[in-house]
Structure 1
Amino acid sequence: MTESDARTRFRAACAAVVAVLPRGLRTVVAPSMVGFAVVNGFTFAVDLLLLSLLIDGLGLPLWAGITVAYGTAFALSFVLNRWLNFEPERPVGTQIGRYVVVVALNYAAIVLGVTHGLAAAGIPYQLARLVAGACEAVFMYAAMRWFVFARCAART
């Protein structure tokens, strides 16, 4: 199977999922949103698996394990979303630069900010992290669709 075949099959599968949604949802849920959920669900699992291997297997300190696993998952997310889910119209360097900005904002404002803010308000940190994760998913999808992988303006 070629790269193009894999992309075509992935996009067709995402479109098929959208096609079976109730009529009201079909107008709101784009196939790229389904693709984002699949890709990022997979990369979240990679993040957790890698985190466990680094902490329990290699004995790294928690901060180091989190940093390596989180960074690896976001790099993998970029590659898979660029390849399978979004149109790679812009040069990869431009997209990587935009992605780094988005990830830095996401990490500072949502992963740390929302989680710590909710925990400081008395919400258990596990629940705070889940809420922050939901915010993160919405922010990252929007940023990737309309900023990182946005279509270039028409060339004249």
Structure 2
Amino acid sequence: MSDHEKDFGQRFHTLMEVVVRWLPFGLSRVVAPSFLGFAIINGFTFGIDLVLLMMFRSGVGLPVPIAFTLAYVLAFGLSFVLNRALNFRSHAPVGPQAGLYAVAILINYLAFILGVGSALTAIGLQYVLSRIVAGACEAAFMYSVMRWIVFRDTKGQ
């Protein structure tokens, strides 16, 4: 990781700390800056996921499971890079982290993307709404895995 990336990661984390301090209703005592950073980064990458999903499904005409898969893999690759560099600011070797992340996204993919997303589509919910519901389920799972397993070297920053 270059010095510029480290500086940008530190500025991102500092901004998350400032924003968390201003949260209302006592939320500043329970919301970690890394959770806010995760929400912002993954909100952005989820938007990318939805755009790609619509391109692959409605634009190209791919079947729902294939469209879900391609969009998911691309968006989660971006999420890994951004969370590692900006949010968790990890300096551990990337190889083992990428391996743990791959296992986590495989579990997440099978349980939430294909399981929940495809099941909801199969029972008649529109595919983008199905993906949004599945996304809400995966958010809690993925934050937990990233904070306490994949990027555990950051000590809960």
In structure 2, C-alpha distance between the alignment counterparts of 1:23 and 1:10, rounded to whole Å? 24
Q: Which residue of 2 aligns with 1:52?
A: 54
In structure 2, C-alpha distance between the alignment counterparts of 1:119 and 1:65, rounded to whole Å? 13
Q: Which residue of 2 aligns with 1:151?
A: 153
Does the 8 Å CA contact 2:6/2:89 hold for their aligned counterparts? no
Aligned CA RMSD, in angstroms, stands at 2.7
Q: In the alignment, residue 30 of structure 1 is paired with which amino acid? A: A
Does the 8 Å CA contact 1:87/1:151 hold for their aligned counterparts? no
Q: In the alignment, residue 31 of structure 1 is paired with which amino acid? A: P
Does the 8 Å CA contact 2:20/2:33 hold for their aligned counterparts? yes
Query: For residues 115 and 46 of structure 1, do their structure 2 counterparts lie closer, same or farther at Cα, with a shift above 3 Å needed?
Result: closer
- The one of the two structures with greater contact order (alpha-carbon pairs below 8 A, sep at least 6) is 2
In structure 2, C-alpha distance between the alignment counterparts of 1:29 and 1:84, rounded to whole Å? 17
Query: How many percent of aligned residue pairs carry the same amino acid?
Result: 50
Number of residue equivalences: 151
Secondary structure of the equivalent of 2:37?
Answer: helix
Deviation string, structure 1 residues 92-147 (Cα, Å, up to 9, x no partner): 00000000110011111222334466778x79466664443222101100000000
Does the 8 Å CA contact 1:89/1:149 hold for their aligned counterparts? no
Query: For residues 47 and 132 of structure 1, do their structure 2 counterparts lie closer, same or farther at Cα, with a shift above 3 Å needed?
Result: closer
In structure 1, C-alpha distance between the alignment counterparts of 2:24 and 2:149, rounded to whole Å? 29
Does the 8 Å CA contact 2:20/2:28 hold for their aligned counterparts? yes
The one of 93, 96, 102 equivalent to 2:95 is 93
Unaligned runs of 5+ in 2: none
Are 2:108 and 1:109 equivalent residues in the alignment? no
The one of 7, 10, 26 equivalent to 1:8 is 10
Query: For residues 6 and 87 of structure 1, do their structure 2 counterparts lie closer, same or farther at Cα, with a shift above 3 Å needed?
Result: closer
In structure 2, C-alpha distance between the alignment counterparts of 1:95 and 1:106, rounded to whole Å? 16
In structure 1, C-alpha distance between the alignment counterparts of 2:49 and 2:132, rounded to whole Å? 15
In structure 1, C-alpha distance between the alignment counterparts of 2:46 and 2:135, rounded to whole Å? 10
Are 2:21 and 1:32 equivalent residues in the alignment? no
Q: In the alignment, residue 36 of structure 1 is paired with which amino acid? A: F
Moved over 6 A (4+): 117-120
